[in-house]
Structure formats: structure tokens, C-alpha cells
Amino acid sequence: MATLLDFRRRIRSVKNTQQITRAMKFVAAARLRRAQEAAIAARPYAKELARMLRSIMSRISEPQHPLLAKRPEERILALVLTGERGLAGAFNANILRKAQDFFRANKGKKISTIPVGKKGRDSLKKAGFNLIAEYVNVLARVDFATRERSPRWSRIFIPRMRSIRCISFSANLRR
């Protein structure tokens, strides 16, 4: 049977663990706040850069680069970026819901899909989509020396999440 001394040691151990956990929460909150502030500070720059590029493109009558040429949307590539595990709350579900909406809206067009992340791959395979490639566990083996040649696409769409607040996100589609 446990003695009074054993109970006191156990209580002290639990209190020490609580202090460590509380300190880890504070560190995580500070990191999250810094990352959030950096992302919010970069938004005006990104918006202005996009506006500037649209302005430049509207003034060029005949773009020389093939990526800048205007083409009809015949072949579409949907790049679906999801997580590897289900530890991100509704992140994966919202991305996949936005992708499904996009696929329904463009039913008549030839859409090929590349899922990046295990959750997206599993969900899109289960739904029966045309997967031309899949990238799972990408961050474990990043290699910038290799790249694949792919056919030219008319448009590339990326369903993504935009952070509104710390715990609030909005899913949208990036062209």
C-alpha cells in the first residue's frame, strides 16, 4: 500500500509536469503570434505585387513567355495540398470540400489532379478522381535536384486555406 510520502512525491511530480506543460503553452503561443504577425504583415506586399503583375500583363499585347500566353481552359490541373495526418482540425476537410466544389463546377472539362499529402490522396482516390501523380510524406525527403516534366496545362488551381484569425480559416481557390 502507498504511504503518505509516496502520495506527496506523486503530487509534486504532477505539479512539476503541469509547470512544464504551462511553459510549453506559453512558448507555443509566442511562436504562433510571431508567425501570425509575419503572415499578416506580408499580405499587403503580396496584394501589391499581384496588382502590379496584373497591371503589367494588361499592358503587354503579345507576351513572349509561354506561361504568360492566354489560352482557353481545356486541360486543368488541380493541385490539392493537404496534411499527412489528421491532426489539423478541419484544415484537411475544408481543403477537400473546396476541391470537391471545384470539381463539380468544372464537370465538363478535363481535370487532372495531383494530391500532396496522405489525407488528400486517400480521399481523392476513394472518390475516384484521375490522379496523375501523388506526393506523400514530401517533407521527409525534399530533393530540389529532381523534377518531372509534365504536359502544359491551361490552368492550375490550388484549393488553399487563408488564415483570418488564430483559429479561424477560410477556404478559397487559388488560380
| Tens-digit pLDDT profile for residues 22-80 | 999 999 889 888 888 888 888 888 889 989 988 888 888 777 777 777 777 778 888 88
Angle between helices 91-105 and 118-127 (to 10 degrees): 40
Q: Give 11's pLDDT tier (boundaries 50, 70, 90).
A: very high
Q: What is the DSSP string of the chain?
A: ---HHHHHHHHHHHHHHHHHHHHHHHHHHHHHHHHHHHHHHHHHHHHHHHHHHHHHHHH-SS--STTTS-----EEEEEEE--SSS-STTHHHHHHHHHHHHHHHTTTSEEEEEEESHHHHHHHHHHT--BS--B-SGGGG--SS--------SEEEEEEEEEEETTEEEEEEE-
* The dihedral sign for the CA sequence 141, 111, 130, 96: positive
Give CA–CA dist 69/154, Å, rounded: 10
Which of 9-13, 33-37, 57-61, 145-149 is least confident?
145-149
Q: Looking at the whole model, is its pTM more than 0.85? A: no
Q: Choose among 167, 155, 171: nearest CA to 79.
A: 155
Return the CATH fold of 75-174. Answer: Pyruvate Kinase; Chain: A, domain 1 (3.40.1380)
